[in-house]
Amino acid sequence: MATASKGLKRVMKAANGLHAAVYRASGGRFASKTANMPVLLITTFGRKTGNPHTNPVVYLRDREDYLVSDTVGGMDWHPGWYLNLLKRPEARVQVGTRSFDVLAAVTVGEDRTQLYKRFKSASSNFVKYEKNTSRVLPVIRLTPKRTME
């Protein structure tokens, strides 16, 4: 699987940081949608350092859970937030002004296939992402550790 160039990673990191800053500062009133899909902020913990890292990610709801997909726009590599979740499957999520802890589970098999179909129905971008990569694009279920207030 190809990895991103250092330059591309720097640009993406800067764009994600700006997106997250605008989202946080506005309590989710701004930067809360991308391609007509809702955005949440996910804070994962570094695989090597344990330091928190925050990224904006589009999501779908599945009852009380949040579904996110590791697409990186159809690139042939996984983003750091996904790799961090594989190492430590817990994170902090901000949706609008609400923040809460979640447990992450990577879906598999038919469950993953059906959930990814929901992403493709929500945005044609997900059809393009799937066509542009050789990897199976993961769907991750984020389950709140406690009920939101």
Q: Is residue 1 part of a domain?
A: no
Closest among 116, 138, 125 to 60, alpha carbons compared: 116
Q: Is residue 118 part of a domain?
A: yes
Q: What is the pLDDT of residues 8-60, one digit of tens each?
A: 777 877 777 777 878 888 887 778 787 789 999 999 999 999 999 999 999 99
Q: Is residue 74 part of a domain?
A: yes
Position 96, amino acid: G
Q: Is residue 121 part of a domain?
A: yes
Single pTM value for the model: 0.87
Q: What is the pLDDT of residues 60-78, one digit of tens each?
A: 999 999 999 999 888 888 9
Q: What is the pLDDT of residues 77-132, one digit of tens each?
A: 899 999 999 999 999 999 999 999 999 999 999 999 999 999 999 999 999 999 99
Domain that holds residue 138: 6-144
User: Which DSSP category does 49 fall into?
Assistant: T
Q: Is residue 115 part of a domain?
A: yes
Give Dmax (Cα) for the chain.
42
Instruction: Check which CATH number belongs to the domain holding 114 and give it.
Output: 2.30.110.10
Q: Is residue 38 part of a domain?
A: yes
Number of domains in the chain: 1
